[in-house]
Amino acid sequence: MAAGLAPAIERIKRDGRLVFEEGAGGGAARVEAVRRSVDAVRSVTEPMLQAIHARGDQLAREVAWVRRRARLLTAGLGVAIVLAGAGAAMLIARRIARPLHGLLRGIRRVMAGDWSYQVRTPPAGEIGELASAFNAMVREVRERRAELEEHNRTLEERVRRRTEELRQKEHALVQSEKLASLGLLAAGVAHELNNPLTSIVLNTNLMLEEADEGSQLHGALRKVDADAARCRRIVEDLKTFAHVRQVERAPTTVETLVGQALASTAHELDRRAVTVERDLARDLPKVPCDPTRMVQVLVNLLVNAAQAARPGGRIRLRACDDGEWVRFEVADEGPGIPVAHRSRIFDPFFTTKPDGTGLGLSISHGIVSEHGGRIEVESWTRDDAGPDGRTGTLVRVLVPVQEAGQ
């Protein structure tokens, strides 16, 4: 259509020039020719204009559609950007908030006293470094607390031991003062009784020689002689109890002390059919002691245990050391010492035996105290026996390995 329009326009231009160049007589035909050319051009341009208008309307509609799509796209993009931003913010917040919540939870657990709690450490970042530092701090505080608690336990144990030692030393001092006072009295009593008893024993023996054996007088004299002998034994115990002498120490093996004590008590043990189970630790150090007096202590303990044991029973004799003390233990399986009597067992003249003097443990206590040691007693009766129902008494003698001042 555009190709046919150009020649028509050229004819209109040419005919128009001819109309204006020639005279009026020939101009009408030329004007008609121009009119026809213009009509021809109009017939061509009108469809073109209509087509252009239609195309313009179509383009306008397309532009409006594009604008609507652009607005929709812009709105969608905005929503997408907002959603993406919100999602990213939530993700970042979660990645930051979760470790922070974990760290806060760990702080609360630790403040509540749970020092074993550890915060989960993020793989990297400032929060991970903070959590690692917190865990390291908690570990260090936990270790320091453990060291402090162990130190406190050690101090408490040392205080307990020192308190117990002071209590025992105070008790030993009171006991020693009591024994010293009683010793003076005992020495005077023994001296005053010794001469009359000697006279009674001699006269009784003379009368026994003259009295007819089997007579009532002979029986009475035998009873007097036995009672006099018992009185002599009490006097000898009083003299021993009252006698204070310097301790003459000599390094003595535990085997020697135990062997001599068992030899001295062999007859009493055999008479009561009591067996002794020895348990002596190996490589025991020598004991700086007065051997005769220390053997006397062991003899007293073994005799007491034999008298408490049942016929055919057994006694356990044990010796060991801890580097500071040599410990002797004599244990029997007898009925035990009643609770009411346990605080008085070292008191002079206290005894529950019909023929006892009550001086054996007092003398033993004094000898051990003179050596810088101590005696401990544990006892169980049927009233306070353990779950196994075991009764009996355990006497523990502790003698220092080194002399005082060394």
Q: Which two tokens stand for residue 14?
A: 């040419």
Q: Which of 39-43, 57-61, 312-316 has the highest mean pLDDT?
A: 312-316
pTM of the model: 0.49
- For residue 34, is pLDDT > 80? no
Would you mind telling me the total number of residues written for the chain in this entry? 406
pLDDT tens digits for 160-180? 888 888 887 777 677 666 666
Q: What is the largest CA-CA distance in the chain?
A: 219
Torsional sign, CA 120, 125, 127, 130? positive
Residue 24 has pLDDT above 50, yes or no: no
pLDDT digits (tens, 9 = 90+) for 279-317: 999 999 999 999 988 998 999 999 999 998 888 899 999
Examine the pLDDT at 398 and tell me if it is beyond 50.
Answer: yes
DSSP symbol at 376: E
Q: What is the pLDDT of residues 112-125, one digit of tens each?
A: 777 777 776 666 66
> Is residue 375 a contact partner of residue 395, using CB atoms and an 8 Å limit?
yes
Pick the range with the lowest mean pLDDT from 19-33, 189-203, 358-372: 19-33
How far is residue 114's CA from residue 131's CA, in Å, rounded to a whole number? 16
Given a contact cutoff of 8 angstroms between Cβ atoms, the answer to whether 238 and 187 are in contact is: yes
Region 190-215 average pLDDT: 80
Contact criterion met (CB below 8 Å) for 282 and 324? no
Per-residue pLDDT for 401 more than 70?
A: yes
pLDDT of residue 281: 93
Share of the chain above pLDDT 70, in %: 74
pLDDT in tens, 239-266: 666 555 566 789 999 999 999 999 999 9
